[in-house]
Structure 1
Amino acid sequence: MGDFAALSLLSLALVLALQLLTYAISRRAGRLSVVDVTWGIGLALVALLAAAVGTGDATRRTLLAVIVVVWGSRLAWHIHRRSRGKGEDPRYARLAEGRSPASIFVRVFLTQGLAQWFVSLPIQVSASTGPPRGFSLALVVLGVVVSVVGMTIEAVADRQLAAFKADPANRGTIMDRGVWGWSRHPNYFGDSCVWVGVYLVACAVWPGVLTVLSPAAMVWFLVVATGARLLERHMADRPGYADYQRRTSFFVPLPPKKG
């Protein structure tokens, strides 16, 4: 456990340093929303750190590093490209009203850094434990498959939505095509699968199973705190959205209802 404690402290220092840098960039850019770009980057950096200095099973360290770096890099680039040239996100504009810079740093940047550290606990534990044996190998395979499927769904959903929004003919309409016809939030569902898969890989060796609150926290963020439920409230008054809700599964992709 000493190896895990050292790696965990290094991971915490890494994400907090990243958030300090992000805060400085945010001040220069005049936008708090740049913090969204570093969400995936921070988790990818922790996975790289774990692969580099972890003393546990090298295969699992490498697998998780590849998964999380690919996921985090794609997500960061997608968010950067989507927000480039735009103003402040209304969510952050409301949060910043009447608050001091110190308060904003704590509520936005420090909070995100701590969340990155907590969500990455399965990676840290996995990098500090030995190789899986027997049936446990099946958990590693299952975890990798779940993560890859999740990354694919998320990437396809983001690409389809970006193409839809880029077409002026779709202005004012609801995206209900492709994977968006099976789930109202397929990108968030795919994201959650990535972290459930990471957790399954960590579960292959004790005490990885104890990090269950990390993927639970990620799913909570995606569904309740900053993801699907918040977007549903924002979209509620859009013409056609109530019908879209009636026809389409909220989160888990399912065949659309007819009629």
Structure 2
Amino acid sequence: MMTLVWLISLWRKDASVVDIFWGLGFVLVAWTNYALSPQPSVYHLLLPLLTTIWGVRLSVHLFWRNHGKPEDYRYAAMREHWGAAFPWVSLLTVFALQGAVMWIVSLPLQVGIALADRQIVWLIVLGVLGWAKGLFFEAVGDWQLARFRANPDNQGQVLNTGLWRYTRHPNYYGDFVVWWSLYLVAVGQSGAWWTAIGPAAMSIFLMKVSGVTLLEHSLSKKKPGYAEYVARTNAFFPGLPKRS
């Protein structure tokens, strides 16, 4: 799938398409594992269904947000730096890398679906409730930000209302909760505690690599009032705003 998306990016001259297919990749992983299960039953359906709701929502949102816009500045900067070599560099450092990360992060899905032979009910219920909370933070956070950006009067301003009053990155926090919750469901179905490597990897990327850290660096340069917002609002985990 990632190779096909890479070919689409060459045709469109826009590597940003990789972001749109991120969520759908996990959907593909989940349903492939379901299809390959020796005797798929109703117990095998829970993880694919939860993953599909999460992944399709994310991909539709990113398609709607990016449609008609130029290539993301990160990929545009890479394209300018590498010149004619960019297609091959992007294949390895963008598309293949994201495919590898997707495989690691999705370990709870792979194992939880394939080995759904037990039912630790309380753990599964806890996971589903956590997944709903994470999806709420992610979807509502994205919606509030989109509505804020749609108002021309907010150009250059900082969104500090709604969920954004309690965390500077409610959508990333929601993603974090979704993946740890899917892990709980997977453990409840398979007992494979070791697959925590998946949500742990996602957490590292969200908080330290391509998520919060990269975005904070960009926002601190673009928005004059962002320093004050940082002083009052938690970076990741929600909490009451601090006094200025």
Band of TM-score, shorter chain = over 0.9
The reply to whether residue 120 of structure 1 matches residue 106 of structure 2 is yes
Quote the residue 1:109 is aligned against: 95
Q: Check conservation: 1:56, 1:126, Cα contact below 8 A.
A: no
Equivalent residue runs for 1:5-44 within 5 Å: 18-44=1-27
Seen in structure 2, the aligned counterparts of structure 1 residues 251 and 161 have a Cα distance that, compared at 3 Å, is same
For the residue of structure 2 that corresponds to 1:251, the secondary structure is: coil
Compared with structure 1, are the counterparts of its residues 23 and 137 closer, same or farther at alpha carbon in structure 2 (3 Å cutoff)? same
Which runs of 5 or more structure 1 residues have no equivalent in the other structure? Answer: 1-17
Counterpart-to-counterpart distance in 2, 1:156 and 1:220: 23
Cross-structure match for 1:11: none
Q: CA deviation at 1:232?
A: 0.5
> Alignment partner for residue 181 of structure 1, among 159, 165, 168?
165
Q: Map 1:53-72; keep pairs closer than 5 Å.
A: 53-55=36-38, 58-72=41-55
Superposition RMSD in Å: 1.5
Q: Specify the alignment match of 1:242 in structure 2.
A: 227
CA distance in 1, matches of 2:153, 2:101: 39
Q: 1:164/1:55 Cα in 2 relative to 1: closer, same or farther (>3 Å)?
A: same
- 5+ residue gaps, structure 2: none
Aligned to 1:252, what secondary structure does the other structure show?
A: coil
Q: CA deviation at 1:180?
A: 0.3
Kept after mapping to 2: 8 A contact 1:56/1:129: no
Of 46, 56, 79 in structure 2, the residue corresponding to residue 73 of structure 1 is 56
Partner of 2:240: 255
Deviation, 1:54, is 1.8
In structure 2, what is the equivalent of residue 6 of structure 1?
Answer: none
Q: Does 1:163 align with 2:147?
A: yes
Q: What is the aligned residue count?
A: 240
Q: CA deviation at 1:22?
A: 0.4
Aligned partner of residue 145 in structure 1, secondary structure: helix
Q: CA deviation at 1:53?
A: 2.4
Q: TM-score, normalised by structure 2?
A: 0.93
Match of 2:197 in 1: 213
